[in-house]
Each structure stands twice: as C-alpha cells, then as structure tokens.
Amino acid sequence: MHALANPLRFQHLADRIMPFVAWPLLVLAPIGLVWGLVYAPADYQQGEAYRIIYIHVPAAWMATETYALLAVASFAALVWRHPLAEVAARAAAPVGATFTAIALVTGSIWGKPMWGTWWVWDARLTSVLILFFLYLGYIALHDAFEDPQRGARAAAILALVGAVNLPVIKFSVDWWNTLHQPSSILKMGGSAVDPSMLHPLLLMILVFHLYLVLVVLLRIRLELAQRCLAALRFQAAAGS
C-alpha cells in the first residue's frame, strides 16, 4: 500500500482499473434496473410496492460499506500517515452520504404503504440516520480548521469513533424488536428471497459496487489534481 503513496503510480493504476469498472457499469445498470423494476415478479404480499428494494437495499449496503472504507482509510491515515489514505477517505465521504440519503428516502417511501407512516424511530432506521449525520460531521469537520492537517486528523478520529455504529446497524434487527424486516439475503441456511427476485437484486448490488469504485477513483484523482495545482500556485507565489 505504501507504493500507492506516489500519486503518479496511483494515477497509472487508476487508469488501468477504471475501464474495467466503467464499461460493466454502463452495461449492467440498465439491465439490472429493467430486470428488477419490470420483469421480476410482484411480491405475493407487498405487490408492486416491493420493487423499491432494487434501489433501497443496494444503497443501504453501500452506505455501510462506504463508511467501513472511510474508517479503514482514516485508520491508515492516522497510524501510518499514508497520504493517499486521507485523500481516499475524503473522496469516499460524500459518496457514502449520498448512498445513505438514498437509503433513508427510499426506505421512507417503502415504509409508507407497508407500515402506514413515512418514519418510525426504529432501531435500524435510527442507526442509519446516525450514520448519515456521521458522514455530514466528517465532511464538515474536515473543512472546519484553517490547518488542513488538523481538520483531516479530527475528521479521521470522528470516523473511527463512528465505526461503532456499523455493527449496531447490522444487528439491530436481531438485538431489538423492530418493524424493519430481518436479514433475508445473507443468512444461515441460505437466502430467503426467491431466486427470480434475488438475481436482479444481486445484480443491482454489483452495479452499486462498481459505481462506488468508479466515483471514488475519479474523486481521488480530482483531489490529487487540485492539491497539485494548489502546490504549484504556492510555489509560484513564493517565487514571485
């Protein structure tokens, strides 16, 4: 990983990875959406309303996985002072916040016909809302100091502290009596979802993963380019 601290080396690696992410994403995203929203059968209890699962579940997965990436990158930046780790964490935070917002909004839309209300202070919903605020707190704290290094360090500490919320999100439906349904995709004894609904859902989960990789790589490249430009401007100002 220390080899990737060299921005040019990372750029070369990103250039090689992105075509293998972007093209499958462009092909699989419309296939997954049409398969799930049109061709998958209606649920015998929820009818057509369940189809929001093809957006809600992948977004919810990516909300937690992106925060895990944020926490790991923040740990690497604090412990090993890996320069690219701090850039990766900064790049991932807005993407994770967007995934979390999508999960919250689609969950509310799904909850209205199922529960009769847009929102309940359910353990799973509340912990995901806390996750959204953690993302916003990280982004705000990163830019709250005049010294960028102090801001990055404070934000990294917040990210690590907030990681304790991840197991709460995962196991909240098992630890407490909640309205949110328990895990039905990854569970002992196999998935409880019918294959005709599961396969397009797994495809959409793959699409969201590809999107995460592509956007984070693009944001890292943009951040590195901005920092390089800022350094050149500083050198030019110092030279004059």
- pTM, entire model: 0.90
Q: How does the average pLDDT of the chain come out, rounded?
A: 88
- Which one of 35-44, 129-138, 191-200, 228-237 scores highest in mean pLDDT? 129-138
Does the structure show a pLDDT above 70 at 152? yes
Structural domain spans, the chain: 51-180+212-235
Lowest mean pLDDT among 60-64, 73-77, 133-137, 142-146: 142-146
pLDDT at 188 (0 to 100)? 47
The more confident residue out of 229 and 40 is: 40
Mean pLDDT of 23-36: 96
Q: For residues 41 and 67, what is the distance between their CA atoms, to the nearest angstrom? A: 33
Comparing CA positions, the residue from 129, 208, 209 lying closest to residue 165 is 129
**Average of per-residue pLDDT across 44-73:** 92
